[in-house]
Amino acid sequence: MGTDVTALLPVPADPPPHDGVLRYLGIEGCVRLPIRVNHVQLAAELDHLPADAWGQASRDPVVQASVESFFAVGYPRGPRPVPPDDRASLSHLPHLRHFIREVIAASPTRAIVARLAPRGLIPIHTDTPRFFRGTLRLSVQVVAEGTQRLYCNGLWYDMALGEVWAVDNLRPHGIHNSGTHPRINVLVDYLPSNQLATLVSEGEQNLGIRDEAAQHALQSMTRERYRTHRWRALRYEIFKLLWRRG
């Protein structure tokens, strides 16, 4: 059963909910929405992109060390607000544009297509609350080999190809690509319209499972990543400090 959010709409935007939109709506964990994306068609569109379309949308050199990505909507965060423009790559991805702009009745602030390397790791991390308290993150897995499980706040979520999930990126989360081929997914952050909040509330909740062994393994890989990239992490933190002052 979904959460009845009628009494909580509209979601406040200024200031945004302190603990994020999902918890404001009374939802804990990740939610599988009652819609799907044609992942086969989208994967075919991505195959036709030029190789130089892929870069590194995120500046984080530790969390994103195993990831190639690009913006479909929006830009990297900066000291000043940036517009949620459609980027040139989106014109080559009509199925993705239809999903972002027409299927979801809300305004995206940014959309990133990310390709995680074979056996690649996105270590456990929490996204910066001051940037994401006021948005809802949707995630779509487009290409994957075998079972791909997202870890989020102590629970594991099995995410099948084409499924659309609301992900709590304000809680510790991470993933390890267990396959020998890249994993591609789409991340879209939306301003929470009443329609989107209602859609999320109608989704399937309480799908997370506990797996202590898998959690310990991911935590161990996370510690190793931060240990081996500690100087990159330090330089990045200094960069962020200077960026905020600027």
Cα gap 240→244, rounded to integer Å = 6
Distances from the Cα of 23 to the Cα of 5, 83, 140, 202, angstroms: 11, 27, 21, 15
240 pLDDT more than 80:
no
pLDDT, one tens digit per residue, over 137-183 is 999 999 999 778 999 999 999 999 999 999 999 999 999 998 999 99
Question: pTM here?
Answer: 0.92
Partners of 137 in beta bridges: 167, 189
- Residues 144 and 79: their CA atoms lie apart, in Å, by 35
The secondary structure element, H or E, covering residue 21 is helix 21-24
Reply yes or no on whether the pLDDT at 242 is more than 90: no
Domains of the chain: 18-215+224-245 (2.60.120.330)
